[in-house]
Amino acid sequence: MVLCQGGEAAAVPAAGRKEPEVPLSREDGAGTGQPCLCPAPGMEAAGAEERRVCGCCSGLSWPRCCKAPGTKKKATCPGLGLFYTVLSAFLFSVASLFLKKIEDVHSVEVSAFRCVFQMAFVLPGLIYYKTGFLGPKGKRIFLFFRGFLGSSAMILLYYAFQVMPLADATVITFSSPVFTSLLAWIFLKEKYSIWDLLFTLFAITGVVLIARPPFLFGSNVTGIEGSYTDHLKGTIAAITSTVSAASTFVILRKVGKSVHYFLSIWYYAVIGLIGCVIALFVMNEWRLPYCGKDRVLLILIGLLGLGGQIFLTKALQIEKAGPVAIMKTMDVVFAFILQILFLNHLPTWWTVGGALCVVASSSGTAIRKWRQSLKKAKQNEI
């Protein structure tokens, strides 16, 4: 027998003869730290009917074991994670555009409809992959907070989209990487340097340029939708949504690949639906859409939101966080394009300046984190 542990093989004498050492290949993330016994080529184990199981491969029999001789790791398509990120950004942007087109439906109700669609489409996946509905015991608390914070970010973001320009709300929420770095420093003990502080100040500057508080810009604020009070409420909602979204990023990084992405979305939808129903009951805001167009848009928002969640989660699982955060700048690009083409609302120079500050801040944070991870990986190889 060959004792496999930590990617190394050690020959174990059996029946008075020495077996040749078997070269092994290791799949990323497959190791559990526990030794597993895999039969060497040409050996007949005692008890032919006994099923050989390798603990490093989720219970697969030995011929399909990742450490079996000749087994090759499946190559990941280069750039697939970045493509998923761009596709996710486009789907979220189109869903935001449809949200602006809906009339007389509260943002909390829209969020409830989206959660229902997510549950309906994720449920077959949970059954097919046999992930269960609660997840591993040690991860349930993280999944709960991921669902609570993620659904809260969705509700607040939808409210911001309804009361302020699409590009303005998108730019504010795009400062999420800056808050992610701050929260990762607090909860994951990641390094937070003077550069991170500088990027945070850049992001705050961008948000101020978009919000344009009267004590800095005077009472005559142009380029907003509706009253300035609604604009200010939308800004506060967008900032709170950004912090909540950053918290979910930290939780997803903490959980990693130990939880199937369908299960993560399931918690997001279930907890979000419960919260939306309670909020609608308290506010007495529940009403059915009046026309067929709004109903179709609600369905499309649910489908597009589900697709965006799936592709973003997949991107974070197969690609480093730095490139994903950089590629998410496409959120801002899509928001500006859709706002100009379909909402006939030209962004002001204040919004453009704020967008440049926020994009520079988040991109700088992402690039710095990416370089740190590459440097750490090289040091580990040495």
**Does 310 score more than 50 pLDDT?**
yes
Question: Which of the pair, 366 or 55, is modelled with greater confidence?
Answer: 366
The answer to whether residues 156 and 110 touch, using CB atoms and an 8 Å cutoff, is no
Residue 61 pairs in a beta bridge with 53
pLDDT at 354: 86
Q: CA-CA distance, 250 to 183, in Å (whole number)?
A: 7
- Residue 69, domain member (yes or no): no
Answer yes or no: is pLDDT of 24 > 60. no
Q: What percent of the chain has pLDDT over 90?
A: 4
Crossing angle of the two packed helices 107-129 and 140-163, in degrees rounded to 10 = 150
Q: What is the pLDDT of residues 162-179, one digit of tens each?
A: 888 888 888 888 787 788
Residue 196 lies in a domain: yes
Domain that holds residue 345: 80-381
58 domain-assigned: no
Asked if the structure places residue 56 within a domain, the reply is no
Residue 59 has pLDDT above 50, yes or no: no
pLDDT (0 to 100) of residue 94: 92
Q: H helices within the chain, ranges in order? A: 80-101, 107-129, 140-163, 166-173, 176-187, 194-211, 214-217, 228-255, 261-283, 292-318, 321-327, 330-342, 349-381
Residue 51 lies in a domain: no
Cα(381)–Cα(77) distance, integer angstroms: 23
Q: Is residue 33 assigned to a domain? A: no
The sign of the dihedral angle between the CA atoms of 251, 252, 258, 260 is: positive
Question: Which pLDDT value is given to residue 220?
Answer: 66
**pLDDT average, residue stretch 281-301:** 80
Neighbouring C-beta atoms of residue 32, cutoff 10 Å:
12
Number of domains in the chain: 1
Model pLDDT, residue 91 = 92
Question: Tell me: the pLDDT tens digits for 233-252?
Answer: 888 999 999 899 888 888 87
- Residue 115, pLDDT above cutoff 80: yes
Give the integer Cα–Cα distance in Å for 118 and 114.
Answer: 6
Q: Region 98-121: what's the mean pLDDT?
A: 83
Indicate the range of 26-35, 110-119, 340-349 predicted with least confidence.
Answer: 26-35
Going by the DSSP 8-state scheme, the letter that residue 290 receives in this structure is: S
Residue 215 falls inside a structural domain: yes
Residue 152 in any domain: the answer is: yes
pLDDT above 50: residue 344: yes
Which is more confidently placed, 370 or 201?
201
